């Protein structure tokens, strides 16, 4: 079991608030991008980048690093914010997001942005990519692990389930997947667009070790990852129940903020809620 | 230039050469992995799998998954070959190849058998006549179309040394062996198999043999035809093709593929910028195929030496030579 102090938890929570502020500013400055799903995944990404992943910002291609695969590519603002705060590139660069000549593309580009491990945007490809990485690690008897973050909208995609079958076939216990289960996709509620429940039963039936948590509770996130590591002979999937737009009262659970940036006034209110000191 | 054997040629399986080369490569390089999708016995990657079971992954009928899994293996440092039938391997998976391979520049080698009409009796659903176009259109992608068995084997070894993403298409059917084991094969050059000064016949795949036949027939009429084997469809050896345009003044292209946006169109766009000459395009004329024996289909859809000869007459007439 992870033994994490209350102080460390508070530090991670504060870091997550900082990343949320970045997400809002990045999408606001260009008036596009996907804040809602970035904010729902924010606590998971924070736990990984600021507590768990063995990565080296000075050497982003360090061969022994853990791999984080962002399958829900539209939520890249949270990844870029984490990478910047982790020291992979300057924090000021975040404000070039989606602008011409930027390294921070609207959806992740492989090979350009330090720390980004995959190209994503067309949904549903990241888990298969992660299966390949995990197979490669195992072939070479490497200790590094693979983490894949999927959206719940991606559970609509056939390839997600092809990857699920493959992960189980090859008993990839060095692979841990997350589903950011915020319940909202571009056009509405997941259960109205293409019902997914019982989602955990589906993954269990596909041969995965299934853990279900509150994806905004830092301690639950860390415990679940710990359990996934301890589980042998199967890949694990952590279904993280989350809230789209988490952290800003008027954005929470609102479909619109899947793909809409805040106005000037909304940004001011949102940043205040997220504890940004007034200038 | 090499001399090319007497007609009739030996008929040989490209798959056999492919399978043999993969095993040679696997023996030489422990980093090679092969990924398949429930066609592994048919396209003979299973022979690699039997020899190197730890380095062989059959992911079932999940070709999109196959491509992304292969991309992940590449990202983990493996020299990965993904192989299945063309229709599944590159048509069904187009956007996965685009996002996970071409855009990322991950150096996956995609080798697909069963391209073109010569799939035969399985019919139009399985006869992919658009793959050269699909793969040529992707930035960072290299496209090979070996003319015969020996070139297919050499393509495997050349691909292993190639730094970027690569697609290689070949056929289910046995093709005439028009090159020899001793012939050089590199990615990039187009090979002049027969010199000539009146007209150029430029082709890939099975149509190379038909161009050589056509050249014999034209020779009997006193027309000297140059035959070029364009075994790399991308990057195109523009220099060799433009020189041929300049020196012969007329070009006929031939491919087992749609003429809408295939090899002929690629050659035309290279030639037209530097030395426009009359051109004709032998290939699948914007239609789907159907069931039938491979060589019946080539006849019915006009992929024959006779069509190439007729096209040569046409371009020569237009040139006024």
pLDDT in tens, B100-121: 999 999 999 999 999 999 999 9
Q: A168 CB near a chain B CB, below 8 Å?
A: no
The CA distance from B47 to A51, in Å, is 45
pLDDT in tens, B153-198: 999 999 999 999 999 999 999 999 999 999 999 999 999 999 999 9
What pTM does this model have? 0.96
Q: Is B261 helix (H, G, I), strand (E, B) or coil?
A: coil
Check A125 against B73: CB less than 8 A apart. Answer: no
- Residue A119: which of B57, B80, B99 has the nearest Cβ? B99
What's the gap between Cα A158 and its chain centre?
20
What is the distance in angstroms between the Cα of B19 and the nearest Cα belonging to chain A?
Answer: 22
What is the distance in angstroms between the Cα of A237 and the nearest Cα belonging to chain B?
Answer: 18
- pLDDT confidence band for B296 (50 / 70 / 90): very high
Which of A111, A115, A126, A128 best probes binding to B when mutated, by most B CB atoms within 10 angstroms? Answer: A128
Q: Is A3 helix (H, G, I), strand (E, B) or coil?
A: coil
A-facing residues of B in 85-114 (CB < 8 A) are: 95-96, 99-100, 103-106
Check B68 against A139: CB less than 8 A apart. Answer: no
pLDDT in tens, A154-205: 999 999 999 999 999 999 999 999 999 999 999 999 999 999 999 999 999 9
By C-alpha distance, the chain B residue nearest A131 is B69
Check B96 against A111: CB less than 8 A apart. Answer: no
What pLDDT score was predicted for residue A3? Answer: 79
Check A159 against B77: CB less than 8 A apart. Answer: no
Q: A148 CB near a chain B CB, below 8 Å?
A: no
What pLDDT score was predicted for residue B6? Answer: 55
- Residue A132: which of B62, B68, B99 has the nearest Cβ? B68
Check A159 against B65: CB less than 8 A apart. Answer: yes
pLDDT in tens, A24-55: 999 999 999 999 999 999 999 999 999 999 99
The CA distance from B67 to B35, in Å, is 9
pLDDT in tens, B203-252: 999 999 999 999 999 999 999 999 999 999 999 999 999 999 999 999 99
Q: B55 CB near a chain A CB, below 8 Å?
A: yes
By C-alpha distance, the chain B residue nearest A163 is B65
What pLDDT score was predicted for residue A27? Answer: 98
pLDDT mean over B14-41 = 98
pLDDT in tens, A190-200: 999 999 999 99
Rounded to 5 degrees, φ, ψ at B211 are -70, -40
Check A118 against B75: CB less than 8 A apart. Answer: yes
Q: Is B63 marked active-site?
A: yes
What pLDDT score was predicted for residue A277? Answer: 74
Ramachandran assignment for A275, one of left (phi > 0), alpha (psi -120 to 50 degrees), beta (any other) = left
- pLDDT confidence band for A20 (50 / 70 / 90): very high
Asked whether the predicted pLDDT for residue B321 surpasses 70, the reply is no
Asked whether the predicted pLDDT for residue A226 surpasses 80, the reply is yes
Asked whether the predicted pLDDT for residue B149 surpasses 50, the reply is yes
Rounded to 5 degrees, φ, ψ at B84 are -165, -160
What domains appear along chain B, each with residue ranges and CATH number? Answer: 11-176 (3.40.50.970), 191-319 (3.40.50.920)
Asked whether the predicted pLDDT for residue B59 surpasses 50, the reply is yes
Check A111 against B105: CB less than 8 A apart. Answer: yes
pLDDT mean over B91-106 = 98
Q: A130 CB near a chain B CB, below 8 Å?
A: yes
Catalytic residue among B24, B27, B47, B63: B63
B-facing residues of A in 177-236 (CB < 8 A) are: none
Asked whether the predicted pLDDT for residue A248 surpasses 60, the reply is yes
By C-alpha distance, the chain A residue nearest B53 is A139
Check A119 against B105: CB less than 8 A apart. Answer: no
What pLDDT score was predicted for residue B123? Answer: 97
What pLDDT score was predicted for residue B57? Answer: 98
Which DSSP category does A188 fall into? E
Q: Give the ipTM of the model, two decimals please.
A: 0.96
Asked whether the predicted pLDDT for residue B3 surpasses 60, the reply is no
**Quick one: A185 exposed, middle or buried, by C-beta within 10 A (0-12, 13-18, 19+)?**
buried
What pLDDT score was predicted for residue B150? Answer: 98
- pLDDT confidence band for A217 (50 / 70 / 90): very high
- pLDDT confidence band for B2 (50 / 70 / 90): very low
CB contacts < 8 A (A, B): 103
| Residues comprising chain B, all counted | 321
Q: Percent of chain A, pLDDT > 90?
A: 97
- Residue A132: which of B64, B72, B105 has the nearest Cβ? B72
Tell me, letter by letter, the H, E, C secondary structure of B99-162. Answer: HHHHCCCCCCEEEEECECHHHCCCCCCCCECCHHHHHHCCCCCEEECCCCHHHHHHHHHHHHHC
Asked whether the predicted pLDDT for residue B1 surpasses 60, the reply is no
On whether the A6-273 domain is CATH 3.20.20.70, my answer is no
The CA distance from A80 to A132, in Å, is 24
Check B103 against A110: CB less than 8 A apart. Answer: yes
Residue in the structure block whose two tokens are 């994490």: A4
pLDDT in tens, A109-154: 999 999 999 999 999 999 999 999 999 999 999 999 999 999 999 9
């Amino acid at each position: 079991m992870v033994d994490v102090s209350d102080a460390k938890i508070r530090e991670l929570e504060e870091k997550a608030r900082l990343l949320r502020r970045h997400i809002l500013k990045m999408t606001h400055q260009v008036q596009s991008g996907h804040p809602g799903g970035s904010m729902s995944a924010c606590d998971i990404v924070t736990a990984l980048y600021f507590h768990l992943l063995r990565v080296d910002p000075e050497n982003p291609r360090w061969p022994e690093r853990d791999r984080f695969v962002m399958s829900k590519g539209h939520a890249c603002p949270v990844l870029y914010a984490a990478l910047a705060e982790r020291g992979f590139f300057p924090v000021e660069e975040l404000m070039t997001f989606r602008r011409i000549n930027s390294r921070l593309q609207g959806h992740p580009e492989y090979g350009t942005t330090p720390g980004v491990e995959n190209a994503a945007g067309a949904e549903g490809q990241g888990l298969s990519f992660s299966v390949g990485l995990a197979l490669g690690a195992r072939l070479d008897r490497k200790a590094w692990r693979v983490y894949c973050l999927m959206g719940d909208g991606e559970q609509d995609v056939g390839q997600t389930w092809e990857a699920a079958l493959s992960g189980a076939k090859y008993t990839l216990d060095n692979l841990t997947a997350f589903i950011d289960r915020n319940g909202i996709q571009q056009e509405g509620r997941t259960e109205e667009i293409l019902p997914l429940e019982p989602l955990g039963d589906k993954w269990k039936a596909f041969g995965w070790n299934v853990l279900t948590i509150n994806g905004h509770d830092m301690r639950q996130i860390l415990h679940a990852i710990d359990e996934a590591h301890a589980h042998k002979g199967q890949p694990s999937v952590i279904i993280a129940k989350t809230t789209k737009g988490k952290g800003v009262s008027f954005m929470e659970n609102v479909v619109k903020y899947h793909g809409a940036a805040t106005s000037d006034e909304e940004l001011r209110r949102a940043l205040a809620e997220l504890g940004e000191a007034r200038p | 230039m090499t001399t090319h054997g007497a007609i009739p040629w030996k008929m040989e399986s490209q798959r056999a050469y492919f399978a043999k080369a993969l095993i040679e490569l696997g023996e030489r390089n422990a980093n090679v992995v092969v990924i398949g999708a429930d066609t592994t016995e048919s396209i003979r990657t299973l022979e690699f799998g039997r020899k190197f079971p730890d380095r062989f992954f059959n992911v079932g009928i999940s070709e999109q998954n196959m491509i992304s899994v292969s991309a992940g293996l590449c990202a983990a440092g493996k020299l990965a070959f993904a192989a299945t039938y063309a229709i599944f391997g590159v048509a069904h998976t187009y956007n996965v190849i685009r996002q996970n391979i071409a855009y990322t520049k991950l150096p996956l080698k995609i080798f697909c058998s069963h391209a073109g009409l010569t799939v035969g009796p399985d019919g139009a659903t399985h006869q992919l006549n658009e793959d050269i176009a699909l793969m040529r259109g992707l930035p960072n992608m290299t496209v090979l179309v070996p003319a015969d068995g020996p070139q297919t084997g050499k393509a495997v070894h050349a691909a292993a040394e190639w730094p970027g993403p690569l697609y290689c298409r070949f056929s289910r059917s046995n093709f005439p062996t028009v090159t020899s084991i001793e012939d050089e094969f590199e990615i990039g050059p187009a090979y002049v198999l027969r010199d000539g000064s009146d007209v150029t016949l430029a082709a890939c795949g099975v149509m190379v043999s038909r161009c050589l036949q056509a050249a014999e027939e034209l020779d009997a009429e006193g027309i000297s035809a140059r035959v070029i084997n364009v075994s790399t469809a991308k990057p195109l050896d523009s220099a060799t093709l433009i020189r041929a345009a300049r020196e012969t003044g007329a070009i006929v292209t031939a491919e087992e593929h749609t003429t809408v946006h295939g090899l002929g169109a690629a050659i035309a766009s290279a030639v037209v910028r530097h030395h426009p000459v009359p051109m004709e395009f032998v290939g699948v004329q914007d239609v789907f195929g159907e069931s039938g024996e491979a060589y019946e289909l080539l006849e019915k859809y006009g992929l024959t030496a006779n069509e190439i000869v007729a096209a040569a007459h046409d371009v020569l007439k237009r040139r006024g030579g």
